[in-house]
Structure 1
């Protein structure tokens, strides 16, 4: 097994390099909930073609990229942030990283240009695993679990490099994995 860490709140799930599921290929998922009933997280490095203003027209200046959080409930909008001092709401999922909060307050802050792109990330849908599903995928080496990351990585807009960066941050034991081709037949 590649990873001995449990996929608890605030940890990252890093997809193995040859995962063929298009929903999770080269994905970095922030775990926002992990309980007996299952796990919820958001893919940090799969941007959609949408901006927040496309989904919420009243926020005409909201040029925030909306990410594809996962294949579940893609008709919902979620957000993580590191600006609790402005929103004064949200569930802390890692040191200085919060999930959700009062959306009405957030809309006012966005309209007043008080929120910066490096403080918040929006998602359509989420990633979800049922009871024992993620544990089985971990046994199959589908995911590496990490708690070794800087909060800046969560809010990175360099989606192409994020997967590689978090792998390299795991140390020399994993660094070689970051150079694997997308298609193992090309190796």
Structure 2
């Protein structure tokens, strides 16, 4: 598979040897990439609090929130698959939307008009300054792939990193078995 350049809709799959504690064994979904910088959300790291613990408007809704990244940890974002029901979202790629009217999303979840399986909430986000992500790609910190609904809304967040590599096939399949610290092997 050809290496994808960073762009909206691309997944950044952490190299098995990436040691940064914010991104070790993570998969980041890029929502935007421009010369000035990039941003996205870590898909496979669960946050310590649920949505109802973070937002009064979500009372009674113990929905999982994911750690989107280390930037602006006082903000909540969401990805979803309901553009016809949640106004104001931005299509990142193939039926995957970022943001929109938060109160509408919460109201639709409360009423059962949308399923939790088609929406993901994130606290904070992952961001890169101008040229920073390109530098990390040159250092081979990230493996790129196309973002898919199957991975972004995966029912088992612990399997996203492994499944993203397995989808790439070939030599990438071997990476799932690499130890976090090869010196301990």
Alignment of 1:172 with 2:170, yes or no, is yes
Determine helix, strand or coil for the equivalent of 2:91. strand
**TM-score normalised according to structure 1 size:** 0.94
Pairwise mapping of residues 133-144 of structure 1 onto structure 2 (< 5 A)?
133-144=132-143
| Residues 65-80 of structure 1 aligned to structure 2 (within 5 Å) | 65-80=64-79
Instruction: Give matches, 1:46-57, under 5 Å.
Output: 46-57=45-56
| 1:31-42 → structure 2 map (5 Å cutoff) | 31-42=30-41
Q: Which runs of 4+ in 1 moved over 6 A?
A: none
Contact kept, 8 Å, 2:78 with 2:119, in 1: the verdict is yes
TM-superposed deviation, 1:51: 0.8
Out of 132, 135, 159, which is 2:157 matched to? 159
Aligned length: 185
- DSSP-derived class of the 1:58 partner: helix
Unaligned runs of 5+ in 2: none
TM, length-normalised to structure 2: 0.94
Query: Conserved in 2, the CA contact under 8 Å of 1:3 and 1:145?
Result: no
The C-alpha deviation readout for 1:31-63, integer Å capped at 9, x for no partner, is: 001001100000000001211000112322222
Mark the runs of 5 or more structure 1 residues left unpaired by the alignment. Answer: none
Q: Is the 8 A contact 2:92 2:98 kept in 1?
A: yes
RMSD: 1.5
1:128-154 residue CA offsets vs partner (Å, 9 max, x unmatched)? 00000000000000001101x531210
Q: Distance in 2 between matches of 1:118 and 1:28?
A: 18
